[in-house]
Amino acid sequence: MSVVDVTVVGAGPIGLATAIFARQAGLGVTVLDGGPTDGDKACGEGLMPGVAPLLAELGIDPPGHPLEGVVYHQGSTRVEHAFPGLPGRGVRRTQLRDALLERALESGAHIERAKYVSLTQERESARVLTDTGDHITSRYVIGCDGLHSSVAADLGVVKKPARSAKRYGIRQHFSTQPWSSHIEVYYSP
């Protein structure tokens, strides 16, 4: 059993950023994640303008392309929005995760490759059980485990949504000069 100030469940971009900010505040941090180690998925590659100052605070500058706005396409319908002020940034999710992971480790965060199983709240702490049978006791547990957060569900903060039609995200990367200064999102039935 280990004892830390903060347990962060989820080592995606938000979980790693949370860990870095906690370390910058002088807190001991364990990040718990048992998912795929490459962090690659079909989302999170278009960073909104407000992220630029946060990346600077985190001390990272992942490679990417400036983005001036976002365009949504569905059939013949096209909706465009230009970002006011600072540009957004197109960054490969794997490169963003790698930069955040490197910075989190440099900052002294401990990364544990195990899955979250459950949470027990105690008077002044919480205890997380992992799939390896380990217990992590901490003053704070922060659930950064995504849209269908097990931490939030265990705390009763959100209800599991009713099953709906399955959705799929597909993306493809090409090595070419950018043809647009916008994030482009295409919907189809």
What is the DSSP track for 49-96?
Answer: TTHHHHHHHHT-----EEE-EEEEEETTEEEEEEPPSS-EEE--HHHH
Amino acid at 73: H
Question: Any bridge partners for residue 161, and if so which?
Answer: none
Question: Any bridge partners for residue 72, and if so which?
Answer: 79, 185
Q: Report the candidate in 91, 97, 92 with the shortest Cα–Cα distance to residue 19.
A: 97
Does residue 178 surpass a pLDDT of 80? no
Q: Which domain holds residue 90?
A: 2-66+86-165
**Per residue in 31-44, pLDDT tens?**
999 877 666 776 76
Whether 172 maps to a domain, the answer reads: no
- CATH number of the domain that 59 lies in? 3.50.50.60
Whether 13 maps to a domain, the answer reads: yes
Look at the chain and report how many structural domains it folds into.
1
Does residue 167 surpass a pLDDT of 80? no
